[in-house]
């Protein structure tokens, strides 16, 4: 990003709203990128906000988050390899449940279209409830499926900081006039983009969590497709 880009942004949106664009750009870099490329991120977000009035119901229903989840579930997750056969099977299952529950809950949230008539505070509370309910749902399903509690807990701890940061950003989006648009489309679009970054961040960090679990999985078994896997 050059000075001309910065001055153009300030002239168009003012200091407060320009700052929000920059913060969101940095947030996406933090969660989704291993290599810093601020210019590309800045360009992407500037395009989104310049065209914010053009976001429609179709953009929400067909948000990239749904395509990415499908891609991860059917293409990326099955190819992930962790340190042992047992951990590979269990972490693949963890991530599959995690993504599926997020997709189902987000689709219900979007399909209801209740967000279109919400005031700022209602949208914020509804978004926060979406995250809380989703965490509860996928942890419950994981436990029922036999995913070890130590994996569920350590993944939660690893993702805690990014979740807190995401919630703060979502609250700012819901209560910031800069994101005002027809039927809350821009706000919901931005919230979905943040959730997409969280999901990607979770997948990226799953290997680190796996490698940092020492003897706590030793002797545990997991059955998939009638085959028993055991951690030695």
- Three-state SS string over 123-143 comes to HHHHHHHHHHHHHHHHHHHHH
Please indicate, yes or no, whether residues 80 and 96 belong to a single structural domain of this protein: yes
**pLDDT in the model for residue 7:** 35
Please indicate, yes or no, whether residues 76 and 134 belong to a single structural domain of this protein: yes
Each as own residue / partner, the long-range contacts of residues 70-74 (CB below 8 Å, 24 or more positions apart, any chain) are: 70/103, 72/99, 72/199, 72/203, 73/99, 73/100
**pLDDT in the model for residue 168:** 82
Please indicate, yes or no, whether residues 22 and 83 belong to a single structural domain of this protein: no
Structural tokens at position 131:
């995250």
Please indicate, yes or no, whether residues 165 and 226 belong to a single structural domain of this protein: yes
Q: Name the 3-class secondary structure at 104.
A: helix
- Cβ–Cβ under 8 Å, residues 231 and 87: yes
Please indicate, yes or no, whether residues 183 and 71 belong to a single structural domain of this protein: yes
Distance CA 62, CA 83 (A): 36
**pLDDT in the model for residue 196:** 86
Please indicate, yes or no, whether residues 26 and 64 belong to a single structural domain of this protein: no
Strands (DSSP E) contained in 143-207 are: none
**pLDDT in the model for residue 177:** 80
Structural tokens at position 199:
């999901």
Total structural domains within the chain: 2
**What is the model's pTM?**
0.81
Q: Domain range holding 14?
A: 1-50
Q: Which of 50, 69, 85 is the last residue of a domain?
A: 50
Please indicate, yes or no, whether residues 172 and 221 belong to a single structural domain of this protein: yes
Please indicate, yes or no, whether residues 5 and 101 belong to a single structural domain of this protein: no
Please indicate, yes or no, whether residues 82 and 13 belong to a single structural domain of this protein: no
**pLDDT in the model for residue 51:** 55
Please indicate, yes or no, whether residues 127 and 211 belong to a single structural domain of this protein: yes
List the helix and strand counts (H, then E) for the chain.
Answer: 8, 2
**pLDDT in the model for residue 37:** 46
Please indicate, yes or no, whether residues 45 and 123 belong to a single structural domain of this protein: no
Q: Which of 14, 30, 50 is the last residue of a domain?
A: 50
Spans of the chain, pLDDT less than 70: 1-53
Backbone angles phi, psi at 33, to 5 degrees: -130, 135
Backbone angles phi, psi at 213, to 5 degrees: -90, 120
- Measured from the Cβ of residue 62, the count of other Cβ atoms closer than 10 Å reads 11
**pLDDT in the model for residue 24:** 56
CA 197 to chain centroid, in Å, comes to 4
Please indicate, yes or no, whether residues 66 and 110 belong to a single structural domain of this protein: yes
């Amino acid at each position: 990003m050059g000075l001309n880009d910065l001055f153009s942004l300030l002239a168009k949106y003012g200091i407060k709203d320009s700052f929000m664009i920059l913060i969101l750009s940095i947030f996406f870099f933090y969660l989704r990128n291993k290599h810093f490329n601020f210019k590309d991120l800045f360009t992407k977000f500037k395009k989104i906000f310049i065209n914010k009035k053009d976001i429609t119901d179709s953009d929400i229903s067909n948000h990239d988050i749904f395509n990415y989840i499908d891609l991860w579930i059917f293409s990326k997750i099955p190819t992930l390899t962790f340190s042992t056969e047992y951990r590979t099977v269990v972490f693949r299952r963890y991530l599959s449940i995690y993504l599926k529950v997020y997709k189902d809950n987000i689709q219900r949230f979007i399909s209801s279209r209740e967000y279109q008539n919400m005031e700022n505070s209602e949208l914020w509370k509804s978004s926060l409830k979406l995250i809380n309910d989703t965490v509860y749902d996928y942890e419950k399903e994981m436990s029922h499926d036999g995913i070890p509690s130590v994996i569920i807990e350590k993944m939660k701890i690893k993702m805690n900081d990014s979740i807190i940061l995401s919630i703060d950003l979502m609250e700012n989006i819901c209560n910031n006039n800069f994101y005002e648009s027809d039927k809350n489309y821009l706000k919901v679009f931005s919230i979905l983009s943040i959730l997409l970054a969280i999901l990607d961040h979770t997948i990226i960090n799953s290997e680190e969590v796996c490698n940092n679990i020492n003897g706590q999985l030793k002797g545990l078994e997991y059955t998939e497709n009638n085959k028993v896997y055991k951690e030695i």
